[in-house]
Amino acid sequence: MSTEPLVIFTPSGKRGHFPAGTPILTAARQLGVDLDSVCGGRGICSKCQITPSFGEFSKHGVTVQEDAISEWNSVEQRYKDKRGLIDGRRLGCQATVQGDIVIDVPPESQVHRQVVRKAASDRTITMDPATHLYYVEVDEPDMHEPTGDLERLERALQEQWEIGSITADLKILTRLQTVLRKGKWAATVALHKSHKDEAHKVVEIWSGMTEDRIYGLAIDLGSTTIAAHLCDLRNGEVKASTGVMNPQIRFGEDLMSRVSYAMMNPGGDQEMTNAVRTAINGLTEAIATEAGIRPFQILETVFVCNPVMHHLLLGIDPVELGQAPFALATSESLALNARDLDLNVMNENAQVYILPCIAGHVGADAAAVALSEEPDKSEDLVLVVDVGTNAEILLGNKERVLACSSPTGPAFEGAQISSGQRAAPGAIERIEINPETKEPRFRVIGSDIWSDEDGFDAVIATTGITGICGSGIIEAVAEMRIAGLLDPKGLIGSAEQTGTSRSIPEGRTHSYVIHDGSAEGGPVITVTQGDIRAIQLAKSALYAGARLLMDEMGVDTVDRVVLAGAFGAHISTKHAMVLGMIPDAPLDKVTSAGNAAGTGARIALSNLGARVEIERIVREITKVETAIEPKFQEHFVNANAIPHATDPFPELAKITTLPDVSFNTGGSGGGDQGGRRRRRRG
Amino acid sequence: MSTEPLVIFTPSGKRGHFPAGTPILTAARQLGVDLDSVCGGRGICSKCQITPSFGEFSKHGVTVQEDAISEWNSVEQRYKDKRGLIDGRRLGCQATVQGDIVIDVPPESQVHRQVVRKAASDRTITMDPATHLYYVEVDEPDMHEPTGDLERLERALQEQWEIGSITADLKILTRLQTVLRKGKWAATVALHKSHKDEAHKVVEIWSGMTEDRIYGLAIDLGSTTIAAHLCDLRNGEVKASTGVMNPQIRFGEDLMSRVSYAMMNPGGDQEMTNAVRTAINGLTEAIATEAGIRPFQILETVFVCNPVMHHLLLGIDPVELGQAPFALATSESLALNARDLDLNVMNENAQVYILPCIAGHVGADAAAVALSEEPDKSEDLVLVVDVGTNAEILLGNKERVLACSSPTGPAFEGAQISSGQRAAPGAIERIEINPETKEPRFRVIGSDIWSDEDGFDAVIATTGITGICGSGIIEAVAEMRIAGLLDPKGLIGSAEQTGTSRSIPEGRTHSYVIHDGSAEGGPVITVTQGDIRAIQLAKSALYAGARLLMDEMGVDTVDRVVLAGAFGAHISTKHAMVLGMIPDAPLDKVTSAGNAAGTGARIALSNLGARVEIERIVREITKVETAIEPKFQEHFVNANAIPHATDPFPELAKITTLPDVSFNTGGSGGGDQGGRRRRRRG
């Protein structure tokens, strides 16, 4: 047995014998313990803080004496006097091993700190970002061996950090000499190492150690909203999350109307490009303020977006995406400088990574969902549906992954619904209809109390009851079907047929009254026959897309379903199944993944390997274009019934029995009006 | 022996047997015959034109029948009808071998056409530029296999030209879809392949075959003038050469005063950067007009320049170059986009290459001289001197190359000389002084007639006699020394001492009158004692720099001397030797290389391998910093004498005997005044 002191690190449990006098940081490195250091062991950065533990550790079989760690040396003492250290903490690069000892590495001293996702699954993101900070001390220039400042910086990085060759663009070169001299030849360098390049790129340099934190943005650039997470690039921690409306909405609510705007108005594409870039600059400013950081500390940004937003962000006219064959200018991932996109609030040298697009209708956002939900690693066959104005659909397992998009339209988001509204306080989000009395009860956003419970009126006093949001309309239609107010073809029965006065005539069709607020000057909230048709169109498109992938895969059922998208998080899976939005599956196998695209963006921001992975996955995905598949129309028509005209729903039958009603009195009902309406992408 | 037809190519003499029906282009490629093609054998570009020869060729041992080449096919005929072909010419990609045949490849059909240098040496530049044109036909997009336009372009380049991966920046991406569709999926692509990158970069793309010529600029960015050559990137042909004054002159005549301007005026460096970039834009416009091309056809530019101009071009404050240790921001070569330097007259995607700098005083211009004059390949020991305001000096052979710069000041260019002027019509450029009569005769720029010959007055009637240019002053001083008007220490003798009334008193010293134009209202042109001192300072600096390199090399003599620089081309080598500007050498071993820096720029523009080579050479060169070598001052003082105080000049002695005179009468002469003047870099 070694007579050298035993060093045990927690929480990793790694242990080894080291000669007395070995710095804790050195021992950690030799054992592969994850202990951070930016200054390279100079006692400057304090990133390597550790907590020595003393006493008897029967679990580890050691007793740690008070003198098992060295006295404070002058460097360590100076750091503590100047900057302060939490009691019990020591600098791992200065404190040395003197006897058997147990060393705890606190989470903030771990570089590859694993970040637990807050979403449903427990998958963790290992930090391996493209951009890192390095503190270096650079040789002063020497007339006898003349080299440039950049070349001496490169040599310092090689010698002190084992970094290979570096590159620096003009923006860095013009500042380099001043920064190095101001820092007395010490500097903190941010290096970006792409997975595509050999060289490290200098993206920022600061004198001495004036900065020790850098950040990244993960941006989900949607047609309606732009959502961003600001992450600490050292440990992946989300410092702030925020979103803004996409200002392009003023050029058109959905994507197709924006493409039309570009086609009809010369320079219109550039207008929209400017609008979205300006919005991202504003968002950057806002999120930095919220997190209390300075925008120039943001050195990386990852974008995920659908193909039209992708082109408009890049300044490419999206006109080709509005017509067959829906050709992208480029489908590969892109690496750019922030300033190439006029993103001048974040650091102008910030590196931008845009995930690859899967096809002309299946964008980088769908790629991000694939990265987050990993259908390619699934043992069982999983259907992943990102529900939005366009639904992106992935179907696959370890063997093979298929993808398509389907033009669901905005009905699921409450748009084009008579009483529809965006998800906001006052919107009805949950509904139940008593199958006996046909009376509804509901809940509105901003309240946990149902409308038939005490205190409901008080709670909604300020917001009122203003409309129905996307998840609310799905529940309403499904509940109407369960309660026998709606037949399988989607016809609302009359008061006579249904036995409730809440069914009121409206032209030649009927509407169902959920809430009459007219007495208090509020709206009358109904579900009209037109609303039902809009929902039928949307859900038929979604189902038909999924069914097309199942055809291609040669299956009739899937093992599980994942609903992604912010909206997906709020959908009642049971009601979605009653509607026939998604193929039949055991209810406990239908789960929500939250904003999976945003999570995918964060993963790509935090881990370089994930970029390699998603680029490979996207190349291997089989793309199915719904617009040209003859069977799509057939699937679409069959899916118009609720839940479906021909496909059996055995799992749904286990949990609910849908009444066998029919309200078609011949010629009355506009039963086909939906089929005649033009479906548009958007 | 093969029974297949024999094909013989001239001028290469390459020959081989091919089956009847083989296209000439195919035969050429298989034999490695240099025959161009941009369209890849589609009969569109006509770059592969050849001339079949008929009849008896006893030299080649074949008789060529009239039917040895195929009839005109429809593609070839259509080309001829539409665009025309020189009589006898055929398209090599369409015409096929039918019998034994002799095929001549005209120079314009050769890609790697060797360009004969017009300068003294006969070295040739082999064309291997970084940027080439490729005509491709791109697959149309297919919904069943969705890929981006860029990815299909990449595939087309791979399949049709065996090009590896490509990259394209946003400026190309935003235009790509329109260009491809306008050309009905045919396009001409300019690809740039750097020696540092694996990928080819798309720098320009045109629909169909609308463009088939691309150009490059080789720019020698000097402190005083900016000189450019416009070259055809296909064959290296110089289409136009032009120069403009460097507008930075208004901030300071020499480099040091520009550095001072930057130090004294906040933003002064940026002012000078803007000035030089604007001048380059103007130069680009002018040279394109002169050559009759459109500026966007310029897709590459190579710069050579001294370190201060290098930093000012890049937008880097040159202040560090004005003080020890003369640190460069970067010494390595640089690859940039034209727009990074605001060069927006040439194609904004033009690729810029800047040669590496050797040291803080020895710039990319010296590197270009090394590339052009190749001291590193010399069997004998060669001293290369680029004479300008700063002299760059290279000494070496195959074993080792040394470099330094020496602050000669502007005297050699006629500045700071009492009657000095730039080389322009009216300036005296050649002088002879009769050693008996002490009478001068001279020639002025713009005339081939000497001043004592008939017709001289008529010839100079329009220009007059206005001053002395750089080469004139060198001849004047050397002739004065040969004629005994000047002693070895540089003192001008009085009329009494020299016996000529052309020696006139001026204060406590004397001047020598070359020409008195006062009768005609013109200037009196003299060489003053001050002029002598200025020339002594300049030549001492030059000699001391060379001597320092010889010390480092451990030699007392060199085998040959090459004078580079536009000025070097006009210096009389004998007079330079009399002055002691350069070390003693056989006169026939002292040659002029013309604008070697400009030639080096053209080489780097034309040949990618030359860039690899010069980067290696610069790394291997031993840099000597004159400012800190204690022996420099000693060498400088000894070199003050004409030709030299201590070094023997045996080769000079073989061709001329310098009179042993001394005009020092004690205390009279300002003999040390030169030594007291501050020498400044610039």
Structure tokens at A503: 């069914």
Query: Is pLDDT of A280 > 60?
Result: yes
Taking phi over 0 as left and psi of -120 to 50 as alpha, with beta for the rest, B624 belongs to: beta
Q: Extract the tokens encoding A669.
A: 């009902």
Q: Closest-CA residue in chain A for B307?
A: A148
pLDDT at B373: 94
Q: At a CB cut-off of 8 Å and minimum separation 6, what does B172 contact? A: B202, B203, B204, B205, B349
Closest CA to B601 of B609, B593, B610, B592: B610
Q: What is the 3-state secondary structure (H, E, C) of B217-229?
A: EEEEECCCEEEEE
Query: Do A330 and B174 make contact, defined as CB atoms within 8 angstroms?
Result: no
Is there a common fold for A6-109 and A115-207?
yes
Write out chain A residues lying below 8 Å of B623, CB-based: 145-146
- Sorted by sequence, the CB contacts under 8 Å of residue B392 that are 6+ apart come out as B306, B362, B363, B365, B366, B369, B385, B386, B403, B404, B405
Half-sphere exposure of B528 (CA within 13 A, CB side): 16
- pLDDT, one tens digit per residue, over A341-380 is 999 999 999 999 999 999 998 999 999 999 999 999 999 9
What count of other Cβ atoms lies within 10 Å of the Cβ of residue A630? 6
CB B412 within 8 A of CB B566: no
Give the pLDDT score at B666.
64
Contact (CB<8Å) A177/B317: yes
pLDDT at B514 over 90: yes
Check whether A682 has a pLDDT greater than 50. no
Cross-chain Cβ contact A327/B150 below 8 Å: no
In 3-state terms, what secondary structure has residue A623?
strand
A671: pLDDT strictly greater than 80: no
**What is residue B537's predicted lDDT score, i.e. its pLDDT?**
93
Query: Which residues in chain B are contacts of A331 at CB distance < 8 A?
Result: 146-148, 150-151
Q: What is the mean pLDDT of residues A664-682?
A: 47
Q: Could you read off the pLDDT of A614-652 as tens digits, one per residue? A: 999 999 999 998 888 889 999 999 999 999 999 999 999
Q: Write out pLDDT tens, residues B345-365.
A: 999 999 999 999 999 989 999
**Does the distance separating the beta carbons of B143 and A325 come in below 8 Å?**
yes
Q: Tell me if residue A60 falls in helix, strand or coil.
A: coil
pLDDT at position A118 is 39
pLDDT score of B211 more than 50: yes
pLDDT value of residue A216: 97
Residue B669 per-residue DSSP state = S
Range scoring the smallest mean pLDDT among A38-47, A489-498, B219-228: A38-47
How do residues B408-457 score in pLDDT, each as one tens digit?
A: 877 887 778 899 887 788 899 999 999 999 999 999 988 889 999 999 98
Go through chain B and tell me how many residues it has: 682
Residue A285 pLDDT greater than 90, yes or no? yes
Specify the pLDDT at position A235. Answer: 84
Q: What's the rounded Cα separation, in Å, for the pair B236 and B145?
A: 42
Residue B674 confidence (pLDDT) above 60: no
Q: Do B316 and A359 touch (CB under 8 A)?
A: no
Asked whether the predicted pLDDT for residue B57 surpasses 70, the reply is yes
What's the pLDDT tens digit per position in A183-195? 999 999 999 999 9
> Contact at 8 Å (CB) between B435 and B518?
no
Written as one string, the DSSP assignment of B32-77 is T-----SSSSSSSS-TTEEEEE-EEETTTTEEE-GGGBPPP-HHHH
This prediction has a pTM of: 0.84
Binned at pLDDT 50, 70 and 90, residue A144 comes out as confident
Q: Cβ-count burial of A56 within 10 angstroms (0-12 exposed, 13-18 middle, 19+ buried)?
A: exposed
Give the best residue of B138, B140, B143, B328 to mutate against chain A (max A CB count within 10 A).
B143
Please calculate the CA angle B171-B176-B177 and round it to the nearest 5 degrees: 135
CA proximity to A280, closest of A329, A362, A352, A384: A352
- Averaged pLDDT for residues B661-678: 56
CATH domain A6-109 topology: Ubiquitin-like (UB roll) (3.10.20)
Report the pLDDT averaged over residues A295-303: 98
Among A142, A153, A174, most B C-beta atoms within 10 A, so best to mutate, is A174
The pLDDT value given to residue A667: 52
Of A178-187, A198-207, A408-417, B40-49, the range with the lowest mean pLDDT is: A408-417
Fold topology of A215-354: Nucleotidyltransferase; domain 5 (3.30.420)
Which carries the bigger pLDDT value, residue A107 or residue B286?
B286
> DSSP labels for A262-316?
HHHSTTHHHHHHHHHHHHHHHHHHHHHHHHT--GGGEEEEEEEE-HHHHHHHHT-
Residue B122 reports pLDDT greater than 60: no
pLDDT for the residue numbered B116 = 39
Per-residue burial over B23-39, b if 16 or more Cβ lie within 10 Å, else e, is bbbbbbbebebbbbbbb
Q: For residues A249-269, give the mean pLDDT.
A: 88
Domain boundaries, chain B: 6-109, 115-207, 215-354, 370-410+534-676, 420-523
User: Residue A250: phi, psi to the nearest 5?
Assistant: -70, -15
Find tokens 């590193």 and name the residue: B376
State the pLDDT at residue A254.
Answer: 78
- Summarised one tens digit per residue, pLDDT across range B589-604 is 999 888 899 999 999 9
DSSP letter (8 states) at residue B607: B
Percent of chain A with pLDDT over 70: 95
Of A173, A314, A360, the CB nearest to B170: A314
Q: Which structure tokens are listed for A117?
A: 């996702």
Q: Is the pLDDT of residue A658 over 80?
A: yes
Q: Mean pLDDT over residues A59-78, rounded?
A: 91
The answer, yes or no, to whether residue A159 has pLDDT greater than 50, is: yes
Give the number of beta-carbon pairs within 8 Å between A and B: 140
pLDDT category at B385 given cuts 50, 70, 90 is very high
Q: Is the pLDDT of residue A51 over 60?
A: yes
The CA distance from A20 to A6, in Å, is 10
Mean pLDDT of A313-328: 94
- Name every residue in B having a CB less than 8 A away from some CB of A: 140-151, 168-170, 173-174, 176-178, 314-317, 320, 324-332, 336, 340-341, 357-360, 623, 625, 627-628
The whole-number pLDDT of residue A676 equals 37
Averaged pLDDT for residues B281-304: 96
B332/A151 CB distance under 8 A: yes
What residue in B sits closest to A179 (Cα-Cα)? Answer: B329
Can you give the pLDDT at residue B1? 56
Determine the residue type at B375.
Answer: P
- Angular region, A477: left φ>0, alpha ψ -120 to 50, beta rest: alpha
More confident call, B230 vs B521:
B230
**A330 to chain B: nearest residue by CA?**
B148
How far apart are the C-alpha atoms of B426 and B432, rounded to whole Å?
A: 17
Minimum mean pLDDT among A489-498, A516-525, A613-622, A664-673: which range?
A: A664-673
Q: Which two tokens stand for residue A41?
A: 């062991």
For residue B119, is pLDDT > 50? no
Mean per-residue pLDDT for A273-299? 96
Region A388-402 average pLDDT: 92
In the DSSP assignment, the letter for residue B249 is G
User: Which pLDDT value is given to residue A678?
Assistant: 39
Is the Cβ pair B141, A329 closer than 8 Å?
A: no
Mean pLDDT, chain B, as a whole number? Answer: 90
Q: Which of B151, B173, B358 lies at the smallest CB-CB distance from A316?
A: B173
pLDDT at A7 over 50: yes
Contact assignment for A317 to B178 by CB distance below 8 Å = yes
- Predicted confidence at residue B668, as pLDDT, reads 45
Please tell me the distance in Å from A216's CA to the nearest CA on chain B: 22
How many angstroms separate the CA atoms of A504 and A519, rounded?
18
Q: Is A146's CB within 8 Å of B316's CB? A: no
> B149, A177: Cβ pair inside 8 Å?
no
Contact between A317 and B151 using a beta-carbon 8 Å cutoff: no
Q: Which residues of B touch A325 (CB under 8 A)?
A: 140-143, 146
Average model confidence (pLDDT) across chain A: 90
User: Which of A145, A146, A173 shows the shortest C-beta gap to B329?
Assistant: A173
pLDDT at B512: 97
A115-207 has which fold? Ubiquitin-like (UB roll) (3.10.20)
pLDDT tens digit sequence for B127-150: 899 999 999 999 999 988 889 999
Inter-chain residue contact B332 with A150, CB threshold 8 Å: yes
**Is the confidence at residue B673, as pLDDT, over 80?**
no
Interface touch A146/B173, C-beta < 8 Å? no
Is A176 in contact with B315 (Cβ distance < 8 A)? no
Pick left, alpha or beta for residue A62 (phi over 0 → left; psi -120 to 50 → alpha; otherwise beta).
beta
Residue B420, beta-bridge partner list: B468
What average pLDDT does the segment A231-252 reach? Answer: 89
